Amino acid sequence: MRVLTIGLGGAGSRVVDKLYDHDQRSGVHCTNAVVIDVDPNSLLQLPHLPNDARIFFPGVNITDHAAAADLIDIDEVMTRLQRMDTIEIDSILICCGLGGSVIDIAPFIIEKIRVSYVEPIFALAILPCLGEGKRVSAKAADDLEMLQELVDGVILFDNETWSRKLLACERPESAGGSGRRRQPLEAPDPRTHYNMLNERIARQVGLLLRAGEFNEGGVEVAEVVLDAGEVLNTLKDGGLVAVGYATERLPTGLTNLLRRRRSLKDLIQGSHERTARIISLAKRAVYEDISIPCDLTSADKALVLIAGPSAELSMKGFHAVRKWIDRSIAGLEMRSGDYPVRNTAYVGIIVVLSGLSNIPRVGEIQNIRADYMLECEEEASRAPGDLEGDDHASSFEVLSPEWAEYGDETMMEKDEMIDMPAGAGTRQKDETIDISPKPGKREEDGDLILPPRESGREIDLAGSASVTSSVPAPKNSTFDLKGIRVEKTAPRDDGMSGSASFKPVQRPKEGALSGERVTFGHGQRPRDDLFDEAGVRMHGGVPAPKDRLPDGAARPGPRPKEVEPGRGKLRVLDAAAREEEEPDDGITWIL
């Protein structure tokens, strides 16, 4: 699908930068990108976007993050958008971090975009970590509700879940793969940490955006598997959306080659392995490697896409997965396709669940908001006038000294990014600072020039002044301490535990979909013939369907057409080099 991606604020800009990078490397070129921010350092540090894709609105006092949205001139943004070549786009994707300040311009921008564009607008929204404090979570809950009303679908990514995953665990790369393990991640700096999260987002969402597109070596593309319309229809009117994405490295090496050639028995065995691999990948995509943990049975629509070398794409496994998802979701719309990719060492699967009504983390931030509002009211009744100060404190009290130190370092680094005239340390108050992110930048310099200050105060470009002073620390530094949960100062236990109502996501018992011959337990599923067609049966550990889960009689009306898997071929460039670059689960189809 051809998409115009718009990044708002630090998180949105960095995510769009990553999406753009993946798109360029894939050779598909289906992404137009533009990012908007009031923090010059955040824009300067984006490694991939061209300069004219960065829109900077300088503020009089950029540490006043509450006013970030006031600084942005929506008409100027629209003019820039209209200058872009967006004639062929299928949709618009607004990327943003919930709980930030630049997201406040979303309603104004979306309103204007609706006037000028007919394409559907989606949002890719990032939920903050719990450790960022109750105030951020509370604002995130507000922001999410605001977005839901404005756009056609909100794809969610949860920083909390993925931060834990990336930081804490060391788990096998894959059950049947080469056995490589992820390295445990120790004490990452915020930049690396966000970079890892953004890489994950770009893989999950980027591939979905490219699902119906092919690279320029189009002659090798035999057939479209899932076109943009299928992806759009899954996301559209979808409310909240989660994207699951799991990959597995295929066994390689001489032993594997010999084993394959040995006998017919091995061939049959190989076929079983391929089936089991697809099924176990689907399980992982839905229950583990999903952008935000959710209840599969509360989804309205689903889309399944498997990809990898065509010889490794077991149709039996694919059909089993399709049936499983189709029977599990509450709604009626199910789309699927396969996506043969040459020269890749990975098999992967994407599962999109949309129209989700049960997402524990969303419930959690809503509860935190209620809790936080109560606290604010109590605070206000105790000491009216002090609330604002406390408010600021609540966002920063969770920061440990190490991170605070890092924050200062980061800000110093950010200062270094700014190209200041000689003698910057003693610069005059009216000096104009020209920040040129990259040599060669010509056209858009106007956006990256801070205006002279009127008052005698110096502009604090990095927003670092208030961190070390008695003034509350600034919130809009590029890599501030957000996203990192520090147990020591996390919100009060009682506050959190009282309010967070986690409904555990239903999971099947291990082995439920572990292979070809799996059987149903008693009373768990509405129908016993679930996987009959594919010769696969399920154990009883699969999540029991909710009331709305369809059984034969409960599904009214005609079923929508289910997409039959097609066959397409995507040329993969330099797969070996990509393997070097992406030692974890980087499937080479992104090239």
Inter-helix orientation angle 264-287/254-261, to 10° = 120
* DSSP state letters, 297-325: GG-SEEEEEEEE-GGG--HHHHHHHHHHH
Question: What is the DSSP pairing of strand 3-8 with strand 91-97?
Answer: parallel
Query: Contact between 235 and ligand GTP (CB under 6 A)?
Result: no
Q: Is 10 a binder of ligand GTP (CB under 6 A)?
A: yes
Contact between 59 and ligand GTP by CB under 6 A: the answer reads: no
CA distance 523 to 553: 17
* DSSP string across 365-422: HHHHHHHHHHHHHHHHHHSTT-HHHHHHHHHHTT--HHHHHHHHHHHHHHHHHS---T
133 binds ligand GTP, rule: CB under 6 A: no
In contact, 123 and 9? CB cutoff 8 Å: no
Rounded CA-CA distance 285/213 in Å is 22
Q: Does residue 136 interact with ligand GTP by CB under 6 A?
A: yes
Instruction: Please tell me whether 198 is known to bind a ligand.
Output: yes
Residue range at the interface with ligand GTP (CB under 6 A); choices 125-133, 274-282, 308-316, 555-563 = 125-133
Which lies closer to ligand GTP via its Cβ, residue 51 or residue 159? Answer: 159
100 lies in the binding site for ligand GTP (CB under 6 A): yes
Dig out the tokens for 330 from the structure. 């509450």
The answer to whether residue 166 forms part of the interface with ligand GTP (CB under 6 A) is no
For residue 562, the SS3 value is coil
Q: Biggest alpha carbon distance in the chain?
A: 84
68/250 with CB nearer ligand GTP: 68
Rounded least distance, CB 102 to ligand GTP, Å: 3
Examine residue 156 and tell whether it contacts ligand GTP (CB under 6 A). Answer: no
What's the min distance (Å) between Cβ of 127 and ligand GTP?
Answer: 7
User: Contact with ligand GTP (CB under 6 A): which of 6, 44, 49, 68?
Assistant: 68
Task: Using CB under 6 A, pick the residue from 1, 55, 93, 126 that binds ligand GTP.
Answer: 126
Mark 474-493 with x for binding to ligand GTP (rule: CB under 6 A) and - for no binding. -xx-----xx----------
Q: Interface with ligand GTP includes 159 (CB under 6 A)?
A: yes
As measured in angstroms, the least distance from the Cβ of 137 to ligand GTP is 9
Measured at CB, which residue is nearest to ligand GTP? 97
- DSSP code for 380: H
Q: Which amino acid is at 438?
A: K
Number of residues interacting with ligand GTP: please give it, by CB under 6 A: 26
469 three-class SS: coil
277's tokens:
């691999």
DSSP 3-state of 89: coil
When the beta carbons of 337 and 483 are compared against ligand GTP, the nearer one is: 483
Q: From its phi and psi, is residue 571 left (phi > 0), alpha (psi between -120 and 50) or beta?
A: beta
The amino acid that residue 112 corresponds to is K
Residue 101 is a binding residue for ligand GTP (CB under 6 A): yes
Q: Which is nearer to ligand GTP, 133 or 360 (CB)?
A: 133
Residue 541 binds to ligand GTP (criterion: CB under 6 A): no
* SS3 at position 241: strand
CA distance 251 to 258: 12
Q: Classify each residue of 362-373 as buried b or exposed e, where b means 16 or more C-beta atoms within 10 Å of its C-beta.
A: bbbbbbbbebbe
Window of 94-102, 299-307, 363-371, 389-397 that interacts with ligand GTP by CB under 6 A: 94-102
Is residue 56 at the binding interface for ligand GTP, with CB under 6 A as the rule?
A: no
Residue 132 is assigned to a ligand binding site: yes
Q: Is 16 in the site for ligand GTP (CB under 6 A)?
A: no
Residues in the chain: 591
Q: Is 203 in the site for ligand GTP (CB under 6 A)?
A: no
411 binds ligand GTP (CB under 6 A): no
Assess 128 for contact with ligand GTP (CB under 6 A). yes
**Binding site feature residues for GTP:** 132, 159, 198
Summarize as ranges the residues that interact with ligand GTP (CB under 6 A): 9-12, 14, 65, 68, 97, 99-103, 126, 128-129, 132, 136, 159, 194, 197-198, 475-476, 482-483
